Amino acid sequence: MQAIGQLAGGVAHDFNNLLTAIFFQLDVLAQRHPVGDPSYEGLNEIRSTSARAADLVRKLLAFSRKQTVQRETLDLGELISESEVLLRRVLYEDVKLETEYGRNLPHVRADRSQIETAVMNLAVNARDAVRAHGGGVVRIRLARLTEEEAHAAGHPAAKGDQALIEVSDDGPGIPPEVIDKIFDPFFTTKPVGEGTGLGLATVYGIVKQSDGWISVASRPGEGAAFRIFLPVHTPSAAAPAPEPAAAKAPPKARDLSGAGRILFVEDEDAVRGVAAKLLRARGYEVIEAGSGEEALELAEQHAGEIDLMISDVVMPGMQGPDLLKHARVYLAGAPVMFISGYAEAEFSNLLEGEENISFLPKPIDIKTLAERVKQELQKAA
């Protein structure tokens, strides 16, 4: 499983590079083929298909536990209740959704979209199980468990109180001979063409990346119950968690032009070349480097003259964090933005003590990149 996870993460990283190049090229073509052009609909279809591919990559990264995580303090009851409308829509009319909200529901520290994805995947799996037998009931139960209760419910390593999200159904259950394989990537019992085998593998990766535990209880003919356990989080009274809306910067003007000298470091030619071209079109001077070694030479040549360095993290030879450590003396405090198909947590420990660092996960489009470039340069001004 570890080897498969490493493979999935590596494939996802490389595919994110390819998707970034596709999104950049689409931005170029969109300028030439605006609304009303015969090619406009075709370009939109390509963008839609690429977005679906990006979603598949996110699933691979979730399974390999290398997805970018944005943790926040979440009220468990509010999180699931807000998802109920969408859940009811995907369960169809012949499947009934029942929810049970326990008392004193806790807060957890997790990525909202990841937890929503995990619950959605489990609910869809339960839906498919009961529909195959003419319909039935899918239940979602939330509770706060003590350490002893968590042990009894299937979390042998629980320490302290746990938040429980249980998704169960009254379907046919899981056959004993496959129950040990259900979290394996690409394993599915669905007919060909009806499942990728990544749904439960994605849930497993999300739960592990959230420092949680997942267990399953099932008997043939009696349905199945998937239980997600997450550590209870107690918000500090002295420093209450900010509201999600307050954490977001207010919307800025749509002007994406700017000025400044950017050192752009990226070993993928298709990404670097198009990104540099699009940034130049918005008023920036861009110096391109195809490797960490080349970037270090250019940083020395332009010592004190670089306003922002944008660098990939994983490159042949000198990696992004190593480049920063060697080039910092030439950057004179300029901000540095890392872009990568891997999660920030994969390399954040290599940047201890560094300042003016930001991160932008791939795949990205030029609008997102230009917005972040302008934001970083304004902060440094």
Answer with the residue of higher pLDDT: 197 or 155: 155
pLDDT of residue 346: 53
For 339, the token pair is: 């872009």
Structure tokens at 224: 């199945």
Span 163-177, pLDDT tens digits: 999 999 998 888 888
Is the pLDDT score of 354 beyond 70?
Answer: yes
Check pLDDT > 70 for residue 100: yes
Residue pointed to by tokens 């090229």 = 25
In the chain the domains, ranked by start, together with CATH numbers, are 2-63 (1.10.287.130), 71-231 (3.30.565.10), 255-380 (3.40.50.2300)
The confidence score (pLDDT) of residue 264 equals 95
**Are 154 and 137 a contacting pair, CB within 8 Å?**
no
pLDDT at 155 over 70: yes
For residue 263, the model assigns a pLDDT of: 96
Helices 40-63 and 199-209, axial angle in degrees (round to 10): 60
The mean pLDDT value of the chain amounts to 81
**Segment of 19-28, 33-42, 316-325 carrying the highest mean pLDDT:** 316-325
**Statement: residue 250 has pLDDT above 70:** no
Model confidence at 296: pLDDT above 90: yes
d(Cα 374, Cα 218) in Å, to the nearest integer?
A: 53
Nearest-CA neighbor of 145 among 135, 166, 160? Answer: 160
Q: Per-residue pLDDT for 193 more than 60?
A: no
Average pLDDT over residues 54-58: 69
Give the mean pLDDT of 301-313.
93
Q: What is the pLDDT of residues 110-151, one digit of tens each?
A: 888 788 888 988 998 889 888 877 778 999 999 999 999 999
Return the SS3 of 350: helix
Higher pLDDT, 161 or 111: 161
Residue 20 has pLDDT above 80, yes or no: yes
Let me know how long the chain is: 381
Quote the pLDDT of residue 290.
92
Ranked by mean pLDDT, the top range of 49-63, 138-152, 326-340 is 138-152
Task: Give the separation between CA 73 and CA 253, rounded to whole angstroms.
Answer: 30
Identify the band that residue 3 occupies on the pLDDT scale cut at 50, 70 and 90.
low
The pLDDT of residue 248 is above 50? no
- Strand 136-145 to 261-265 pairing: unpaired
Confidence band of 210 (pLDDT split at 50, 70, 90): confident
Burial string for 243-263 (b: 16+ CB within 10 Å, else e) reads eeeeeeeeeeeeebebebbbb
Q: Are 173 and 219 in contact (CB under 8 A)?
A: yes
How far is 232 from 158, CA to CA, in rounded Å? 11
**What pLDDT score was predicted for residue 212?**
92
Determine the Cα–Cα distance for residues 65 and 207; give it in Å rounded to an integer. 9
Residue 255, pLDDT score:
62
Interatomic CA distance for residues 17 and 355, integer angstroms: 26
| CA pair distance 371, 381, nearest whole angstrom | 15
